[in-house]
Amino acid sequence: MKNGILHKVMLVLVCGLLFAGCTGGPAKETEQVSSLKVMFWDENYFYREYGDLFAMKYPNIEVEIVTTDQIYQDNDKEDFDREKAFADFIEKEQPDVLLLDTDQYEKFASEGKLAELDSLISKDKYDTETIFPAILEILKEKGGGKLYGLSPTFYGSALYYNADLFAKYGIEVPHDGMSWQEILDTARRFPTDGDKKTRVYGFGSDYGMSLENLASSISSTQGLNYINPDTMKLTVNTDSWKQVYKMAMDALDSKAIYNPDDGGFQGGTMEEYYQSQPFMMGRMAMTVDGTYLLQNLKDAQGQIKDYKPFQIGVVAGPVDPAEPDKSRNISMSEILAIRANSPNAEAAWEFLKFVNGDEFAKVKSRTLNGGLMSRMGVQKEYNGVSLDVFYKLKPKLDNSYSNYDKIPDSFHEKYYSIFSREMKLVQEKKKSIDEALQTVQDEGQAALDKAVQDEAAGKKDKSGAETDQAG
């Protein structure tokens, strides 16, 4: 909206080169529409990612952005209700296009606050065949069987490996659908000798994998919950959790996992950051990460003097052995939906069609800044690495945090203190995993019970005070 002339000229050129029929004018049914109100995080970001290109094809639709930062102005207040503030913002601003996360999408769809898209798709014969089926499946399941929104991009993770290291040590390279046990067993096959600045690690992450981090990654893949918010009971002292922590502890004890004592990179230049990363520097065999790792690897080549590139492989996983063809790591942060009863529903639908369309995806597929494109086949590789792997697994809806808003905020800090203390004792070999999890279960449950009681008492006192004031 406030971009320079040069930027506009470049957009015209891009539009002319890449959008067939871009200069042919907007669709006939939107010619009379003069305005469209879109809800988004930031106005500049919106125009950079969506708005400028949309304006080139639909110059007669004047887009107004209402930014969501005003929702969270009172976020630091003790009684701040995020969900209510979000709903109040939409009620006040009445945007035609809503920006939602998965939970908000599910809630608004169930409350009848979103326009159903299936009939619009059918009427316009809008092509959804090349949209990643996992995205549509998640959106339909969250929408009670119907489609109420679309997401131009999504995020996923995969198992990266250094093919040169596998070849050097004669170890078979990873394959699609590996479980955490298989990954950690493979990591143990790499040597563990040498000092921390030159040795090779079988597996790790940017800042290292502590017992808590590794166990959390494993449990997330398996969909384990440490608490049941419906019954308000902790569930950490179970066979499943014990197996997770024993798997993680055995891996760390093998010394094959990157877990620096100082927590890894502590600050400095970008070159120093890249040099602190064992995988980027060719000294780590495997890591699990998103697509931004590919960007970092490309950047490292240009910023580190005498950088030695290596052959990168990527496979789908890790997976839950019980469902090896599915992933819980497929997510969306920009679900776009049309507000029910919007007076500009036709223009809103044109916007959704455009930013979720094939032409738009082809323009945006040149970078990975906004995640992976939901349109398949347009973003085939990045810096020589195939991206097909991110489209291989089916979605497994992660309900690990469903209804977690029922848990009192005061509980989390207390629980983490108990948990961290016990895991430290485990790592110091002063307690067994079974003993530590039993303590976490007992003390954590007591802390949760107290937090629930205190919250109920607080609400009662507040209700009584309000009644007194009203009287």
Distance of CA 134 to the CA centre of its chain: 14
* pLDDT given for residue 9 in this prediction: 36
Bridge partners (DSSP) listed for residue 99: 336
Residue 442 has pLDDT above 80, yes or no: yes
Tell me the C-alpha to C-alpha distance, in Å, between residue 18 and each of 26, 53, 152, 259, 435: 16, 11, 18, 47, 62
The ranges assigned to domains in the chain are: 5-155+330-395, 158-209+257-322, 404-470
**Angle formed by the axes of helices 239-253 and 211-222, to 10°?**
140
Helices in 19-110 by DSSP H: which ranges? Answer: 43-46, 52-57, 82-93, 102-110
Give the side-chain half-sphere CA count within 13 A for 197.
Answer: 1
* pLDDT given for residue 454 in this prediction: 87
CB 283 within 8 A of CB 276: no
Residue 14 has pLDDT above 50, yes or no: no
Closest by CA to 285, choosing from 188, 355, 381, 212, is 188
* pLDDT given for residue 256 in this prediction: 96
What is the C-alpha separation between 109 and 106, in angstroms, rounded?
5
- Going by pLDDT thresholds of 50, 70 and 90, the confidence category of residue 71 is confident
C-beta neighbour count of 191 within 10 angstroms: 12
Helices in 58-175 by DSSP H: which ranges? Answer: 82-93, 102-110, 118-124, 133-142, 163-168
Task: Quickly name the fold that domain 5-155+330-395 has.
Answer: D-Maltodextrin-Binding Protein; domain 2 (3.40.190)
Q: Render pLDDT for 17-27 as a digit per residue (tens, 0 to 9).
A: 444 444 444 44
Of residues 226 and 79, the one with the higher pLDDT is 226
Tell me the C-alpha to C-alpha distance, in Å, between residue 72 and each of 88, 196, 201, 336: 12, 44, 42, 20
